[in-house]
Structure 1
Amino acid sequence: MSPGQHEVWRRHGAAPPVTALDSCSVELIRQRLASAQRRETPAHMRFKWRHSGTAAVMLLLCEVNGQVSLLLEERNHRLKSHPGDMCFAGGKCEPGESAERTALRETFEELGLPECAVEIVGEMHPVPNQANTLQVHPLVGVVRGPLDLRLNRAEVHRAVVLPLAHFYNPAVRSLVSFRSWGLSIPAYTTDKPGLRIWGLTAFVLFEFLCRIAAPASPRL
């Protein structure tokens, strides 16, 4: 974790910056994501890209049991790649397809959520997969109203909804080394025994939490 990340994490406090997905809260998230995109790319996000393909993932915010929550997936345990891992909906971009279109398409194909159910509120800097063969573009979406999921069981073992406040509990996170970048990032436990969020998913999640914790720039 870089010194700048340490400072942002310290400012998080004990609670998330939003407690509902009303219009004001969604606009706050939108502004803080946009502000982060306008600032200079932090040193730990300045990657040396190889010739690579493109992929996209969708961080989905929803409101469940009166709490702002994140919707994740546990991958099918029979998949050849990362079986049983926690992840966000996403996949490779098809030729000529934008990252936003990919994220929406994969969200529908994996979770059954149609495009009209997801409001895109921002994006973050792309990150490489472990082999550096893909630029992975994280999008952030909001799902209004009750969740009506139709899981693609060939890819998704189950959907997991965790309150945003869960990630602000020090008891659920531990610092781990991330690849060979000289960074330490949180890995998060869940309320499902043995199931945790780590690797690229944890890195993207942590970057998202840093961005929504940081105040927007004066230009907003």
Structure 2
Amino acid sequence: MTNDITEHMRSAWAGKEPVLLGRGGIHNAAVMIALVKNGEDYDVLFEKRAEDLDRQPGEICFPGGAMEPGETPEEAAVRETMEELLVRREQIRVIAPLNEMVTISGDDIFSFLAVIDDYEGTFSGDEVGEVFRVPLSWLLAQEPLGADVEQTTIPSEDFPYDRIPGGRNYPWRSSHRTIWFYRWEKDGRIYDIWGFTAHMLRAFLKRCHSEIPGANQ
């Protein structure tokens, strides 16, 4: 049996439907968890968003973005990866669908696993400020920091209180969730991977631990 971890991933996951880890909803975004060969091992590729973007500037993410009309989630993930990393389609080897997750705002995000062959560190400066790589073996050995947050419903000023029992005294429920953090340090630089990117990364790593031979070594 091959010792290449991506072959074990393909055997375990290829052909399976994405695992729904949320409420479901409109399928409107897709990302790629991209692996890059590093000797006998693999690195996970991350992007740091450009600082001049209107949305989430400077934050760390995976390649990906909104789906266009008529696209499948996989097609969207591949297209966005090509555009953001300036790679050719033939460089991207999609291994398997991973998870379908739902954000706080109710958006559905699909994730896919792929290997990018012959990647030379290219990226589009229109969207990406920099790229960096983290060894998969290192990530598999980490226990992320978890921080709990409480979310409370705050109605708008024009909320129709007269239409709900109790009016302004309605007992809105609070919800609790955990935000995960991974910290990678290299050459004096610190990269904090957090939020939904860390949530997807943690789900991927947990599946590796539970389903991929040798991932716990």
Q: Which runs of 5+ in 1 are unaligned?
A: 1-21
Counterpart check, 1:177 vs 2:143: no
Task: Return the structure number with greater helix share.
Answer: 1
Two-structure CA RMSD over aligned residues (Å): 2.6
In 1, distance between residues paired with 2:22 and 2:27?
17
**Residue in 2 that maps onto 1:154:** 126
- TM superposition score normalised by structure 2: 0.75
- TM superposition score normalised by structure 1: 0.74
Report sequence identity in percent: 25
Deviation of 1:159 (Å): 0.6
Q: Does structure 1 conserve the Cα–Cα contact (< 8 Å) formed by 2:183 and 2:191?
A: yes
Higher relative contact order (CA 8 A, sep 6+): 1
**Residue in 2 that maps onto 1:25:** 5
Matches within 5 A, 1:8-23: none
Deviation of 1:158 (Å): 0.4
Point out the structure with max Rg over C-alpha.
Answer: 2
1:70-110, Cα deviation, whole Å (9 max, x unpaired): 00100001111111000000011100011111111111110
Q: Does structure 2 conserve the Cα–Cα contact (< 8 Å) formed by 1:176 and 1:184?
A: yes
Q: Cα 1:121–1:154, aligned 2, differ >3 Å: closer, same or farther?
A: same
**Residue in 2 that maps onto 1:210:** 206
Counterpart check, 1:200 vs 2:162: no
Q: Which of 40, 47, 59 pairs up with 2:23?
A: 47
Q: Which of 88, 97, 106 pairs up with 2:71?
A: 97
1:15-48, Cα deviation, whole Å (9 max, x unpaired): xxxxxxx77422201233359858xx68xx2415
Q: Does structure 1 conserve the Cα–Cα contact (< 8 Å) formed by 2:16 and 2:97?
A: no
Q: Does structure 1 conserve the Cα–Cα contact (< 8 Å) formed by 2:180 and 2:195?
A: no
Deviation of 1:167 (Å): 1.5
Task: Return the structure number with greater strand share.
Answer: 2
Matches within 5 A, 1:66-145: 66-132=40-106, 134-144=107-117
**Residue in 1 that maps onto 2:159:** none
Q: Which runs of 5+ in 2 are unaligned?
A: 152-174, 213-217
Deviation of 1:113 (Å): 1.5
Counterpart check, 1:186 vs 2:188: no
Q: Does structure 2 conserve the Cα–Cα contact (< 8 Å) formed by 1:185 and 1:206?
A: no
Q: Aligned letter for 1:93?
A: M
Q: Cα 1:169–1:212, aligned 2, differ >3 Å: closer, same or farther?
A: closer
| Number of corresponding residues | 186
In 1, distance between residues paired with 2:125 and 2:5?
33
